[in-house]
Amino acid sequence: MSWLKIGGKYPKFSEKPLTLVHNRSYRLFEKGKEFKLWAKICGVAYPLELGERQLKLVKKAEKIGEAKLLKRSGKWYLHVSIEIKEVKPVNPKGVLGVDLGLRNSAVVTGSKSVFIKHRRLLYKVTYYWKQIDKMKSKLSEG
């Protein structure tokens, strides 16, 4: 039964986002000229308004996953997760590593190592923690 057959009124959903599982509680399909994509949610068909970019992404999706149905500013939105195979694989040209430590706050290693030193900052942090511990010890128990 489509939303047109029930008088153009959408069924009432709760205000909290609903999580929908593909092929169980919802599915997407193409039908008609005015709306290019429809969603059948719990047995009722709803038209979806999407741009050309979103329509292309849904059509070339390898896998359609969960969706969230939510209401924002009086409008309903359906957030659909999809998996798309990347055309160009990423070919890294190097390695990047970050080491966090006490002597140097961070060391970033790539083609050239960069040392980030914040000894004064580390000193101030330890100083304030000691001050907090002193104040805590003066408090009564409980």
Does residue 126 fall inside a structural domain?
yes
Which of 7-16, 57-66, 115-124, 133-142 shows the lowest mean pLDDT across its residues? 7-16
For residues 70 and 111, membership in a common domain is answered with: no
Does residue 91 fall inside a structural domain?
no
For residues 59 and 29, membership in a common domain is answered with: yes
Q: Is the pLDDT of residue 93 over 80?
A: no
For residues 109 and 75, membership in a common domain is answered with: no
Question: For residue 22, which of 63, 65, 61 has the smallest C-alpha distance?
Answer: 65
For residues 22 and 79, membership in a common domain is answered with: yes
For residue 24, the model assigns a pLDDT of 84
- Global confidence as pTM: 0.50
Does residue 142 fall inside a structural domain?
no
Question: For residue 71, which of 27, 19, 16 has the smallest C-alpha distance?
Answer: 16
How many CA atoms within 13 Å lie on the side-chain side of 103?
3
Overall domain count for the chain: 2
Residue with tokens 């709803």: 46
Structural domain of residue 34, as residue ranges? 18-83
pLDDT one-digit tens code per residue, 4-21: 555 655 556 566 777 888
